[in-house]
A and B are shown apart, each in its own frame.
Chain A
Amino acid sequence: SQTIHQWPATLVQPVGSPLSLECTVEGTSNPNLYWYRQAAGRGLQLLFYSVGIGQISSEVPQNLSASRPQDRQFILSSKKLLLSDSGFYLCAWVDFRANYGYTFGSGTRLTVV
């Protein structure tokens, strides 16, 4: 069956430290993958999406980058975190079982201190 995994669930990082969040999908091939961020009390902001290995589209220029080293792996990174990077980070994939809507991973709650 198709599943999506994200880790870690929570993360507390100091300002200026690096970040790496990983998302993997199982049971499907060549999925479209997405990274979203949700600031506290706010809506979903699309950060990056990828339609295939090595293909990354950035929606919002900022302190983050994304990579897709393998078909079912999507990584969100930062070299130096800012306080404003705090938020709930969600990975999603296009799920044909959901009428081609998105199925989200369980998310990573990042607090930059």
Chain B
Amino acid sequence: GENVEQHPSTLSVQEGDSAVIKCTYSDSASNYFPWYKQELGKRPQLIIDIRSNVGEKKDQRIAVTLNKTAKHFSLHITETQPEDSAVYFCAASKGGTYKYIFGTGTRLKVLA
């Protein structure tokens, strides 16, 4: 069935360093890949997304890359700050079904 694997489950970095989170999806028909940030007890918030017709997208300190052949996509956060500490979820979606398949999440800790 449809599946999204996400690694690592936890990630600790020093403030100012970069963080990378990787996801792999199983359904080759997936064409939309959002990333959500969720702080403790709060709603998931979209931070960046990418569609299958592009390989990379950047928004200030955040970037996402997509490799359709390998069926994996990654989130890159540069110059990390303590407020980046949260749980990050990747997801995959394909046209026609409308649902998101989420990864299991990565708990990012940025150490000051």
Is B truly associated with A? no
Binding site for B on A (CB under 8 A): none
Binding site for A on B (CB under 8 A): none
